[in-house]
Amino acid sequence: MTTDIASGAAVEAAAKELRLPGIREHHLRLADQAKRSKDTYLGFLADTLSLEVDDRAERRRTRRISEAKFPRQKRLADFDLDAAPTINPATISTLAAGNYLDSGDPVVLLGDSGTGKTHLLIGLGMAACEQGRRVRYTTCAQLTNELNEAADERRLARLIAKYSRIELLIIDELGYVQLDTRGAELFFQVLTDRDETSSIAVGTNLPFSEWSQIIPDPRLVAAVIDRLTFNAHIIETGTDSYRLKTSRTKT
């Protein structure tokens, strides 16, 4: 008869070989729990596999959040909607469910500095990560710099293909830095590659009528706006500083 020690060692070896770290770590606890509750073999097996599924989902969520490269972690639940009266709570709730990602719809947040755009963008990204989605956060300046470097090094196609695998590309701070013609064209190339297939969420401090201030070519301005507004969820965060309002409520 196989001893418990030998059985435990066999489970650990098999779990390592099959890459089942949850079972490897918790099999003794689950076996002891099943023994005390007089569980059936089938019940013990179901509990063990369920633990591995849950553990794998949690590790995927953690990995997705790390890969997204958020500057900090913000959640939608922590956003004080009472301090942002221009934002419809139902819209945020709908977006949090993630259905827009299935159809590749864009999200555009328009509002002055300090009105909560970055918090909402990161919150949407975190929600998507927790659903197992691939997400990447970047600023407009960072993205265009990365694209320019890739073009110089003749690896632009690989970089755009990499971004095409991202289910939610978050581009923050559109409007703070003027794009040159090449940067604007590369930015548009990313939008075109994702058009109606993968979602983009953008945060900008400029109304659409003023995007000519950051994109030099009028035709390109129109094309970029067309890509970002077709089937888009457009949220106006207003002009009153969300940060100032929330800091006042804490004092």
On whether both 50 and 84 belong to a single domain, the answer is: no
On whether both 89 and 22 belong to a single domain, the answer is: no
On whether both 170 and 222 belong to a single domain, the answer is: yes
Range(s) of the domain holding residue 97: 76-249
On whether both 34 and 100 belong to a single domain, the answer is: no
Domain boundary among 37, 68, 99: 68
Contacts of 162 (CB under 8 A, 6+ apart): none
On whether both 154 and 105 belong to a single domain, the answer is: yes
Question: 114: number of CA atoms within 13 Å, CB side?
Answer: 9
On whether both 147 and 222 belong to a single domain, the answer is: yes
For the domain that residue 139 is a member of, what is the CATH number? 3.40.50.300
On whether both 222 and 165 belong to a single domain, the answer is: yes
On whether both 26 and 144 belong to a single domain, the answer is: no
The pLDDT score that the predictor gives to residue 105 is 96
On whether both 161 and 61 belong to a single domain, the answer is: no
Q: What is the rounded CA–CA span in Å between residue 189 and residue 224?
A: 10
Helix axes 4-17, 21-36, angle to 10 degrees: 150
Domain boundary among 43, 68, 93: 68
On whether both 57 and 146 belong to a single domain, the answer is: no
The pLDDT score that the predictor gives to residue 251 is 52
On whether both 57 and 85 belong to a single domain, the answer is: no
How many whole angstroms from its chain centre is CA 219? 30
Main-chain phi, psi angles of 201, to 5 degrees: -120, 125
Q: Give the chain's domain count.
A: 2
Residue ranges of the chain with pLDDT lower than 50?
A: 1
Question: 99: number of CA atoms within 13 Å, CB side?
Answer: 7
The pLDDT score that the predictor gives to residue 248 is 57
Q: What is the pLDDT of residues 49-88, one digit of tens each?
A: 888 888 888 888 999 999 999 999 999 999 999 888 999 9
On whether both 39 and 85 belong to a single domain, the answer is: no
Domain boundary among 68, 98, 113: 68
